[in-house]
Amino acid sequence: MLTDTFKDILGTIPIIASGSIAMELSLRDKSDIPADIWNLKDPVTIESIYREFVDAGATLLLTNTLKSNRLALDAFSLSDKVYEINRKAVWIARTAALRKALVAGVIGPTGHFFSPIGDLTQEEAHQVFAEQAMALLDSGADIIMLSSFIDIEELIIAIDAVRAVNPEIPIIALKSFPEDGTVLATSYPADIASRLQEKTLLALGSNGIVGPQRMTDILRALSGATIPLCILPDIAIPTLLHGRPNYNAEPEYVASVAVKLVRQGACIIGADGGATVEHIRAIAKAVSKEIPGSEKIAPKPSKIIDVHPFESDEKSQFAQNIESRFLTTVEVEIPRGLDMSSVLEASRFLKDHGIDAVNVFDGARARVRINPITASHMIMQETGMECITHMACRDRNMVGLQSDLIGAYSLGVKNILAVTGDPTTIGDYPFATSVYDVDSIGLCRALNHMNQGRDLLGNALGRATQFTIACAVNPCADDMATELNRLHKKVEEGATIAFTQPVFDMDTLLPFLDAIKNLNISIMLGIIPLRSARHADFLHYEVPGMIVPSWVREAMHNAGNSAGEIGLNIATEFLKQAKEHVQGVYIMPPAKRYDMAIDMCKRSGIL
């Protein structure tokens, strides 16, 4: 329980938080497993570290539990040890604190992304945080500190979960900000402070990621808050040396900046990543006679970020046209290697014959080919043909994916078809890593956020994009309920156009269209003109998610030498029937037979 004495002194003298248990363990050659696990493996060493922090001047001990929630521990097959690890951590800290310091039970983020970016639900996150809070509070933590949260929504959920366990427990909520002057110059940090103040906290603030100097900017951005501030910077940005973080910041340097932070309003001060006992000792000594907020500073003025598109920005021609007329796209085969001449030639041919856009796939079947953004830019620059650029989630983490999207938009590549992507196990490098930080639903969300001028975490981009958000759907899916549910989610996340997997007849198409009749999405119907019986069998039996009806396969087998013409006739007759029910056609001609696509469109009355 938080003592009245602590309440009375908060804001009048600096409260000194303990430093990095992980760093102290590393100095003792105990960095081979996560720091939290040492609570069980070697509690004596953990207790000795805490005693050194107390002797150095720490008056608030932070439990060694940042990654002790069920989801984080699951990575080490220790999800059943949540209660044991957290209770042990508090007992160790309380033993070392005696009557010289209070104990803050530390809860960190889950380490998982919320749906649709990941698979974490808000309900599950609430339960995970409540479980950890219960363990920390059952063992006597005086305070709960929510630390290192990047996602403000996750932080809010964590606050509510702790409150559900104990409505009266004092909470310190810390949001970590990236080292990004552009973000800090906006109203974003002030907006965060405003939201957190509504939660009746003991203190709010920031920890980790950035060093002491950058943290002064963050403090200033948060200084409009009307409750005490807690500021715990990393001591510096580390480099890796033999697999371990190496910091160059001397204790005296960190302490000198800590003085500035206290004078500018930090009531709880310390250091996070890399902070040894000696860093805390230097901070405690340097701020011992300081009064928090003795140097009044005005909150950092925020730039108003216009998130509306520039006047020169507009929707792609494809996005504008789909609202008014039937559109045609053809998939071009991207070769291996550097020679793009066949792609450029095909794109010119298709444009000259009236096709609206070409589809540029992204490493289909996990094969190494030119980046689809680069290929699309080359096609647009060289031929003037519009592109539907496929973007797979397999090869890029969240940072790379969003960076590539910003790069694509800067090059004028605006039509993005979000796909999850084939796993690397079927491709050129079966032992390569499949990333999948997000799937196609999460990618739709990222695109939608950018169209509102923000990235996935709400950081301002400076202006809004005008991406056309397209997605894939399979009308032949074995589990149609799941397929329709995913399509609903894609539409909720901003998709406006769906490109279907190949369909061959109205018996498949019409039930699918009826099932999505209430969805506000345009359908580009995927069609493949079959070239042989072997082609039909391969698609049906060997390509996941592909269904070639038995009557089509039978017709191809009976066609003999005329199979190519029969396949074209089947596709053409289907297109004639289907064109009144969809907004466009997406043709996937076999073996670079782009003339078949033109023939189909002419014979069906589209061109």
pLDDT band at residue 249 using 50, 70 and 90 as cut-offs: confident
Place of tokens 């397929």: 483
Cβ-based neighbours of 541, under 8 Å, separated by 6 or more: none
Q: pLDDT tens, 74-89?
A: 988 999 999 999 999 9
> What is the bridge-based pairing of β-strands 239-241 and 244-246?
antiparallel
Confidence of residue 591 (pLDDT cuts 50, 70, 90): confident
pLDDT at 183: 62
Q: Looking at the predicted structure, is the pLDDT value of residue 267 above 70?
A: yes
Q: Residue 300: its pLDDT value, please? A: 61
- Residue 426 pLDDT level (bands cut at 50, 70, 90): low
The confidence score (pLDDT) of residue 309 equals: 46
Candidates 487, 522, 515; CA nearest to 415 is 522
Q: Which of 139-148, 210-219, 303-312, 593-602 has the lowest mean pLDDT?
A: 303-312
pLDDT band at 311 (very low <50, low <70, confident <90, very high): very low
Question: In this predicted structure, what is the pLDDT of residue 57?
Answer: 97
pLDDT of residue 340: 93
Compare 398 and 179 and report the one with higher pLDDT: 398
Lowest mean pLDDT among 296-305, 478-487, 537-546: 296-305
Residue labelled with tokens 């033109």: 598
pLDDT at position 307, please?
A: 47
Domains, the chain, in order of start with CATH, read: 4-287 (3.20.20.330), 317-530+583-603 (3.20.20.220)
Could you tell me the sign of the dihedral formed by the alpha carbons of 343, 348, 351, 356, in that order?
positive
Q: Is 163 left (phi over 0), alpha (psi -120 to 50) or beta?
A: alpha
Q: Which residue has the tokens 């609903």?
A: 488
**pLDDT computed for residue 240 by the predictor:** 66
H or E element that contains 542: helix 533-542
Q: Is residue 456 predicted with pLDDT exceeding 90?
A: no
Predicted model pTM: 0.77
Instruction: Give the pLDDT of residue 122.
Output: 95
Residue 538 in this model has a pLDDT that exceeds 80: yes
DSSP state letters, 462-512: SS----EEEEEE-TT-SSHHHHHHHHHHHHHTT--EEEEPP---HHHHHHH
Q: Residue 571 pLDDT more than 90?
A: yes
Lowest mean pLDDT among 300-314, 384-398, 576-590: 300-314
Q: For the stretch 271-306, what's the b/e string if a residue is b when 16 or more beta carbons lie within 10 angstroms of its beta carbon?
A: bbbbbbbbbbbbbbebbeebebbeeeeeebebeebe
- Under the banding of pLDDT at 50, 70 and 90, the label for residue 30 is confident
Mean pLDDT of 496-503: 97
Look at residues 65, 219, 82, 73 and name the one whose alpha carbon lies nearest to residue 146.
65
pLDDT confidence bin for 7, thresholds 50/70/90: confident
pLDDT tens string 85-136: 999 999 999 999 988 999 999 999 999 888 877 789 999 999 999 999 999 9
**Closest Cα to residue 470, out of 437, 436, 443, 449?**
443
Distance between alpha carbon 244 and the CA centroid of its chain, in Å?
Answer: 26
pLDDT more than 70, % of the chain: 94
